[in-house]
Structure 1
Amino acid sequence: MKKVLLSITFVFCSVFIGFSQTADSNDDFMTKNNNVKISLTSLAFKNVQFQYERILTKRIGVVVGYSFISKGSVPFKSQINDLVSDDPDTKDMFNNAQLGYSAITPEVRFYLGKGYGKGFYIAPFYRHLKYDISDVNFTFSSDLGPQEDIDMGGKLTANTFGLQFGAQFNLGKNIILDWWIAGPHYGTSKGDFAGVTDRTLTPFEQAELQKELDNIDLPIGDIEAKANANGATIKISGPWAGIRSGLSLGYRF
């Protein structure tokens, strides 16, 4: 993963340096060729998204975005529960779950309208996402009583490539509005989760916990869940898809 990120960073830096040299020799290049932006629509979902854009030529700009959600209660919990199976124990496993999120998104923009950071654009992009999840609850039958709980947590990462369609407008001398019309992206994901008990589980308890793990029904790819004497492990892998859309307000300088 580090090699992939370093390779992508190298490509974007090379593009930046090459076009910056061209831009410096272009008499028509606008003096205000830097933008900093914050997404307005994502704030409603507690997702803070920042972008920095450098206008290189009339038709080309490079953008680096960073977004994050501070760790807290899982958003859209009721909608997620509707996606899992009808088993009450499975539906309750996200009730106390905590979720954190971050993403880095570099892109190259090709302006088709007026240019110099204005008008309609298309932008191929790469996105690296990371989810930090904890306190996912599983209930299983125990030798010590009718039921016992185990909390699981771990990280899931995804790497996707996509194409953003959008338009950017000047609202004043220094204020800009960036409209992400649609940006579908697709790639792969991988996750590792573990839960550790404070005591050794008996064979009966492991079997009961395995039954609960086998009932996991989430639309996120292949799931490999195994109970053991110390708790359980879950490995997730499969495709990952999404779409970027929204409005950002920015300052041009």
Structure 2
Amino acid sequence: MPKETIEKTKLEDDALLYQKREEKKDREKFKELDGKGKLQFFRDYYLVKVLIVVIAAALLGSVIYTMVKPRPEAALNVAVVNDQWEEQAREDFKTDLLDYLGLDAGKNTIEVMDALWINEDGSDMATRTKLMVNISAGMVDVMIADREQFLSYAEQGLFVDLSDKLPAQLDQKLDGQILKSGVIEEEGQEPTGEYSVGISLENSGIYGSLTNQAEPMYIGITTSTKNMEDAVKMIQYLFQ
């Protein structure tokens, strides 16, 4: 065996022997102490080590819990085109709507994707793409937009016909506020038919509290929604 290896092994053995002797001395010293002395001894020699272990375990547990705990499920996904809600008002809206729907905030959430600015100069392709990808993936249940943009999507058949979706009492309450539109069946043709695709939010006090938008906004339910019942209830909530 090389000399360097022998010397290294001897040093390691000596260090281990010294450590064992020190540990034995500590145990003997600890036995001789009274209660107060033992507490002080623990604080001086072991407390820091214990705290490090406890903190490390807590951090590890937190990381594991964050990774494995179930994430809240989106009860509704709302897209807002050409409008931006006040931040605190948006959070209050989400909380209140969950309560109105009778859902547990720990298990469910309302996703609001606002500030989707769309214009006609062609500089908004990223926004249009983001919106259509989410709609196609069934991740937009309810859409809110200004009249011009709302009708442009309505003509593409984006919204369900609300005429047979709203409760009779709500339908009567919204008389005169329903937006109708035809649908383009083939590219290059004019829209045909007439469907109740949206509702004006001009008389919704709740929506008015969310934004400073002066232009009338309209709300509709997308044909790709997987949460029709709660989408209808959201409209009821806005006009309660």
The answer to whether TM tops 0.5 is no
Q: Which has the larger radius of gyration?
A: 2
TM bucket by the smaller chain?
Answer: under 0.3
